[in-house]
Amino acid sequence: MEQSTFTILFFTILVFVMTPGPGTLALLSISTSRGFLSSMMYSVGAILGDLMYLSLIVFSIDVLAERIEPLIGIVRFFGAAYLMYLGYSQWTSGAINLSEFQSNSSSRKDFIAGFVISGTNPKVMIFYLSVLPVLIDLTQVKLSYALQIILTVALGLLTGLVVISLLGKQLKRIINSPRAAQRVNRISGTVMFFVGVSLVFL
């Protein structure tokens, strides 16, 4: 994988995982109510849930390469459009209500909770299906290449989830403020939108 592709993939995943959503808000609730260890147990489960989708796509994409490659231009614009749509949706989203994501489960259940929330979120698969064909060279999906992609995504997910866990209390105060929450939505929406734009010219 080229360095530029690695960088774009890493930061796309980082922004995606830190964008407020069910998984992120559940992690924020756990980190502020029960601490870093519980949030890390949740994060490991969430990462494995994401990597389940990712592995299915990466290890099957070579089978579909002959069909997808002639349409790669269309796929590229679809992926870019989807990211721009996510950015617009985030920009226009309303206030964030953390009370909907309060968790009373024990630490031993956090791993399962993370896996279930991530593994049952259809937006995760749509995201990977939209973005990966644009970034991946469909003619080079060998085991080492696939493992490099998976490692890149895992690092992006882990980085974002650790940041959320470490800054849980500060982020909770920000999100509970309607004005600050709007800024968070607009910043993450803008970043996601321009990541989508960058895919057009990749």
Token pair listed for 11: 């930061």
In tens, the pLDDT along 142-152 reads 778 888 889 99
Name 74's Cβ contacts closer than 8 Å, sequence gap at least 6.
none
DSSP assignment, residue 138?
T
pLDDT at 157 over 70: yes
Cβ-contact 103, 49 below 8 angstroms? no
How would DSSP label each residue in 138-158?
TT---HHHHHHHHHHHHHHHH
| Nearest-angstrom CA–CA distance, 62 and 12 | 22
Model pLDDT, residue 144: 80
Name 51's Cβ contacts closer than 8 Å, sequence gap at least 6.
150, 153, 154
Model pLDDT, residue 84: 79
pLDDT at 48 over 90: yes
Segment 140-168 mean pLDDT: 86
Residue length of the chain: 202
Backbone φ and ψ of 78, nearest 5°: -65, -45
Confidence of residue 44 (pLDDT cuts 50, 70, 90): very high
* pTM of structure: 0.72
